[in-house]
Amino acid sequence: MKLMLAVDGSACSDRAVAEVVATFGVWREEPEVHLLYVHPPIPIGRVQHHIGHDSLDNYYREESLPHLASAEAALNAAGIAYTRHIHVGDPAELVVSVAADLACGWIVMGNQGRAAVVDAVLGSVAHRALRLAHCPVLLVK
């Protein structure tokens, strides 16, 4: 079984990681864990004329690593193997589409992330992912 663990570096996201660590042993077979961070896209416009594709990819990677750090530390401390994924775009849509592409049977994520004010106005990433998901979604408070 494959499990998508979507994180954003928030305290709620850390609790979702803790839930995966705490319940990892209850699965009949150890799940294959896919750790995902979705970086919001920077406004492209004319930026691509001044910054190369490789530089932009490096920027996204470097900016994403701190948001993954606590999740990776917790998974490593628990001895849980995982595959890291970094994507750029709409978080809710990418959580669901990457989970579908990887044939994940579960999505685990915090119910409130770093953009709480925006979420209050537009609807949370977690709730949008819940609506779009093809598989069970565990939202952790």
Its pTM stands at: 0.88
Mean pLDDT rounded to a whole number for the chain: 88
Minimal CA–CA distance to 6: which of 89, 116, 114, 91?
91
What is the pLDDT averaged over residues 111-140? Answer: 75
Q: What is the pLDDT of residues 9-30, one digit of tens each?
A: 999 999 999 999 999 989 889 9
Fold of 2-140: Rossmann fold (3.40.50)
Cα angle, residue 117 at apex, residues 107 and 75 outer, rounded to 5°: 35
122 band by pLDDT with thresholds 50, 70 and 90: very low
User: Residue 53 has which token pair?
Assistant: 């594709």
As beta bridge partners, residue 88 has 39
Tell me which residue has tokens 């890291």: 84
Q: What is the pLDDT of residues 28-60, one digit of tens each?
A: 899 999 999 999 887 766 666 677 778 888 989
| pLDDT higher at 97 or 47 | 97
What is the pLDDT averaged over residues 105-113? Answer: 88
User: Residue 33 has which token pair?
Assistant: 């864990």
pLDDT for the residue 4: 98
Coil, strand or helix at 5? strand
